Amino acid sequence: MIDLSVHLITYNNEKHIEETLLSILKQKVDFNYEIVVGDDCSTDNTLDIINTYQSRFPHLFKVKKNEHQLGILGNFKATLDRCEGNYVFDIAGDDLLKHDKALQKMVDVLKRDDSLGFIDSGIDFLYEKNNTIKPFRNKKVIQATREVYKKLLLLGKLTPIGLCFSKKHLNKFVDFDTYLNMNLTIEDYPILVDLVMNTNFTTIDESLHIYRIHDDSYSHKKSFENHVFLKNQMKNLFDFFKKKYNYNSVLNERFNNDYNKEFLFLAGYFEQKEIGKETFKKLKSKSIKDYINYAASQNKLFRRLISIV
């Protein structure tokens, strides 16, 4: 019997995939696990590297290259369907398991409580550009009360790395068909919202993972259009769940205010004058940072006062 499926979706990760695989293979566990890979038609050597490890550990690896590109959510679901474990640990092809007992620690907690839909844990941020690490970057979130954690999750304020799921709860509560029909490129937010609204959850107060931040990753592309697309997709998802789960007005107001502030920041960084004016007007309360971002959207000399994350 397989207790855990390591769910690994890849696309053009040749630069990092070997390090990711080695971080999985070094795990010390007392249960059976598998590594289920879904490659979304990589055009580099990602799959060749993975196949090298599959030939060395054939009992561990289940590798499949999609016949055609499915996108992030489509690849997530197709790979999930091939997972046989009771629990599913999701990892991207450029992230790392930091602790050699990370999988053991997560599975132990999930085995003790069948009501858990997922478990979250600590992560370090690795900034590849200057090779610096910020340890336990999500410590405040992990140590927050359940109420605060849930609120941050619904607002999309979590970094969804280092999560381990109960597969039966994923299958029961996550409406994958609807989200696939919505053509989403964001897979983690809708999954977590459905789980947090229907199941129990917990956290491990320890940094077990490393989240690599680099310009090649989808979520960190630096074009204005990419940022706007992701922000608007998140807003559409929030509005969808607001109706599905009847969010209160306070949560709705908080999301919209944060959304406008983030848009104003982007307008300032990319010197989008009209968007800056429109967004600035929508803010009900304005901080000094908002005034700086607005000024930056109108005059490129102010842009040196802000930096993009």
Look up the domain containing 185 and give its range: 4-216
- Angle between the N-to-C axes of helices 146-154 and 188-198, in degrees from 0 to 180, rounded to the nearest 10: 140
Burial 166-203 (b: 16+ CB within 10 A, else e): bbebbeebbebeebbeeebebbbbbbbbbbbbebebbb
Q: What is the mean pLDDT of residues 97-117?
A: 98
Are both 204 and 252 inside the same structural domain? no
pLDDT at 279: 96
Angstrom distance (rounded) from CA 117 to CA 198? 8
Q: What is the mean pLDDT of residues 263-268?
A: 93
Three-class SS state of 120: strand
Measured between alpha carbons, how far is residue 258 from residues 126, 225, 275, 285 in Å? 26, 19, 16, 11
For residues 78, 153, 196, 172, the Cα torsion angle rounded to the nearest 10 degrees is -10
Q: Are strands 61-65 and 33-39 parallel, antiparallel or unpaired?
A: parallel
Query: pLDDT tens for residues 39-59?
Result: 999 999 999 999 999 999 999
End position of a domain, from candidates 158, 193, 216: 216
Paired residues of 118 in beta bridges: 165, 201
Q: What is the mean pLDDT of residues 58-63?
A: 98
Are both 51 and 175 inside the same structural domain? yes
pLDDT bucket at 305, cuts 50 / 70 / 90: low
Are both 27 and 173 inside the same structural domain? yes
End position of a domain, from candidates 196, 216, 236: 216
Are both 139 and 268 inside the same structural domain? no
Measured between alpha carbons, how far is residue 87 from residues 120, 164, 265, 289 in Å? 13, 7, 39, 43
pLDDT at 284: 86
Helix (H) / strand (E) element for 124: namely strand 116-127
Are both 268 and 161 inside the same structural domain? no
Are both 177 and 104 inside the same structural domain? yes
Q: What is the mean pLDDT of residues 273-285?
A: 93
Are both 238 and 162 inside the same structural domain? no
Are both 58 and 31 inside the same structural domain? yes
Three-class SS state of 122: strand
- Tell me if 50 sits within 8 A of 23, measured CB to CB: no
Are both 30 and 157 inside the same structural domain? yes
pTM over 0.85: yes
Q: What is the mean pLDDT of residues 4-9?
A: 98
pLDDT at 308: 45
- Tell me if 122 sits within 8 A of 138, measured CB to CB: yes
Q: Nearest Cα to 72, choosing from 43, 44, 46, 39?
A: 39
Are both 183 and 232 inside the same structural domain? no
DSSP code string of 246-284: T--HHHHHHHHHHHHHHHHHHHHHTT-HHHHHHHHHH-S
Are both 205 and 260 inside the same structural domain? no
Q: What rounded mean pLDDT belongs to the chain?
A: 94
Q: Nearest Cα to 225, choosing from 233, 235, 214?
A: 233
Q: Looking at 130-281, which runs of residues are DSSP E strands? A: 132-134, 164-166, 200-213
Are both 163 and 279 inside the same structural domain? no
Query: pLDDT tens for residues 204-260?
Result: 999 999 999 987 655 555 689 999 999 999 999 999 999 999 999 999 999 999 999
CATH number reported for the structural domain that contains residue 88 in this entry: 3.90.550.10
Number of domains in the chain: 2
pLDDT at 221: 55
Angstrom distance (rounded) from CA 72 to CA 122? 23
Q: What residues have CB less than 8 Å from 129, skipping those under 6 apart?
A: 214, 215
pLDDT at 306: 56
User: Between these two residues, 48 and 299, which has the higher pLDDT value?
Assistant: 48
pLDDT bucket at 301, cuts 50 / 70 / 90: confident
Q: What residues have CB less than 8 Å from 241, skipping those under 6 apart?
A: 154, 190, 193, 247
pLDDT at 302: 74
pLDDT at 309: 39
End position of a domain, from candidates 182, 216, 250: 216
Query: pLDDT tens for residues 153-200?
Result: 999 999 999 999 999 999 999 999 999 999 999 999 999 999 999 999
Measured between alpha carbons, how far is residue 264 from residues 222, 230, 238, 276, 305 in Å? 16, 15, 19, 6, 14
